[in-house]
Structure 1
């Protein structure tokens, strides 16, 4: 159980880094939709992890980072399962059945999942009022999706839900480990751990019709490999470690709306005035969780 209090500077830096991470993550599902429209979802998952893993290995070698301790390996495996393999694969498969807008809404549940795993795995104990704002914020996001009347596939919904649960576990576990191993080191080692699996699979699932993939498809894959799978995590894990898993994690409530804005621009999906109104409510909930940080 965490008993020490974070300094104001730590908390502020945590929120700034967390916000940058959320902005970078917001393009993940729209970019994934661009990629899976033209490529196999399994290949997209393998390629994003493989490209990011090679980059991470390169960076680790440049900075001559020491290998993780034996007692850190299990946590790194959980991060790899949740963030490198689980969520990317399940969300990619889900996007075969769902629109980008519908899938993005499930991200509104991420803060609550991250907070729950932060309690069980990170030992954090937020103020009871924190849970009130967290749940209200999640309900606002989910309620907005329902109000849009977006048709969905049960299979796609289940895949996204499982993906969000695994992602919450990976976020919380990585944040806890970042306090001792470092933010960019956590995601780097998690990616490197997955490389022995990803490299052979990359050639097995390499698409035969690679010449038909458009610039948009390659752009989507490049974005999720560089920003969603590596650079975004550097800011995100650092922010969670500095400001607290449960509290900074609430910034994820803003991710669906940033994502919808990007989907509207790149995928020509409509952004309504209702979305803007809900965004204000979500921002207030984020402010409320910050106020009741323990």
Structure 2
């Protein structure tokens, strides 16, 4: 965000990750998924590779990284809830109690930090949670039949026809300032978060299942809080780590009482 606007940052990360993915697909001769898989690949790509990055980046225009990390801490809850509803399982009352308690903690934090009303950044983050949960859920289901490379690689390749013209338009509308920090950030979110991280993530979901794999997200809010201080020098409000820990406890209860 130091050198790129939200639309150009999202489009560029998708283009870079998609190009690298195409090279890997060609070199490894990864087979094209069957036609029946493509609608769910589209859902996964729309939520994880386009919707979530774009909405969280838009949110960071008005929210700090620490604030966003706490709200995004609800992602394991939304992913588990989506997975439960999608697979037809029946979560126990304790599941929903813990899930709602975690959501209430995050909502209280957002209201406290914004002076009593949800701001635009919070609305972006909440929409991002819903889209990403659907994307993870469908991607995790696909990873039981396809390899992680097939799911991520072909989803990214399918995004390129939209991402390339979007990047051109976005860069014209949002002129970039090419600082070392900004360029390194785009390269990392493209190759690290958008490609390598998702390859490992979908591989894990395919082996362990969506619900179990999402437990590893327990550490995400606290890790992001730490990196926001280390990399960006942000000051953490006292409520941020306390809320993150509260959500962590709620998620732990959710996974113990899932059905």
When normalised by structure 1's length, the TM-score is 0.77
Match status 1:104 vs 2:66 = no
Give the whole-Å Cα distance in 1 for the aligned partners of 2:182 and 2:115: 25
Residues of 1 paired with 2:207 and 2:94: CA distance?
A: 21
| Kept after mapping to 2: 8 A contact 1:254/1:282 | no
2:26 — aligned with what? 61
The answer for the alignment partner of 1:28 in structure 2 is: none
Contact 1:113–1:168 (CA<8 Å) still a contact in 2?
Answer: yes
1:203 matched to 2:207? The reply is no
Task: Tell me what 2:60 maps to.
Answer: 95
User: Which residues in structure 2 correspond to 1:147-186 (within 5 Å)?
Assistant: 154-186=119-151
Displacement of 1:77 after TM fit?
0.6
> How far is the alpha carbon of 1:199 from its aligned partner?
1.6
Indicate the SS of the match to 2:126. helix
Q: Which residue of 2 aligns with 1:12?
A: none
Deviation at 1:223, TM superposition (A): 1.6
The answer to whether the Cα contact below 8 Å between 2:73 and 2:247 also exists between their aligned partners in 1 is no
Alpha carbons 2:69, 2:225 under 8 Å: kept = yes
Q: Which moved more, 1:71-80 or 1:141-150?
A: 141-150
The one of 8, 11, 15 equivalent to 1:50 is: 15
Match of 1:255 in 2: 220
Q: Distance in 2 between matches of 1:204 and 1:278?
A: 39
Structure 1 partner of 2:196: 231
Give 1:213's match in structure 2, choosing from 178, 201, 205.
Answer: 178
**Separation in 2 of the partners of 1:147 and 1:153?**
9
- Contact 2:43 2:134 survives alignment (8 Å): yes
Q: CA deviation at 1:263?
A: 0.8
Quote how far apart the aligned CAs of 1:140 are: 4.1
Q: Which digits, 9 at most, give the CA deviation of each residue in 1:124-158, with x for residues without a partner?
A: 45555344444434444444555556788622222
**Structure 1 residue 81, shift from structure 2 partner:** 0.9
- Say what the alpha-carbon RMSD is for the aligned residues: 2.7
Shift of 1:104: 1.9
Deviation at 1:109, TM superposition (A): 2.1
Q: 2: CA distance between counterparts of 1:109 and 1:165?
A: 10
Q: Which residue of 1 aligns with 2:43?
A: 78
Q: Which has the larger displacement, 196-205 or 268-277?
A: 268-277
Structure 1, unaligned runs of 5 or more? 1-35
Measured in 2, the distance between the counterparts of 1:116 and 1:153 equals 23
SS in 2 for 1:180: coil
SS of the residue corresponding to residue 66 of structure 1 reads coil
- Cα displacement (A) at 1:63: 1.5
Distance (Å, rounded) in 1 between the aligned partners of 2:197 and 2:116: 30
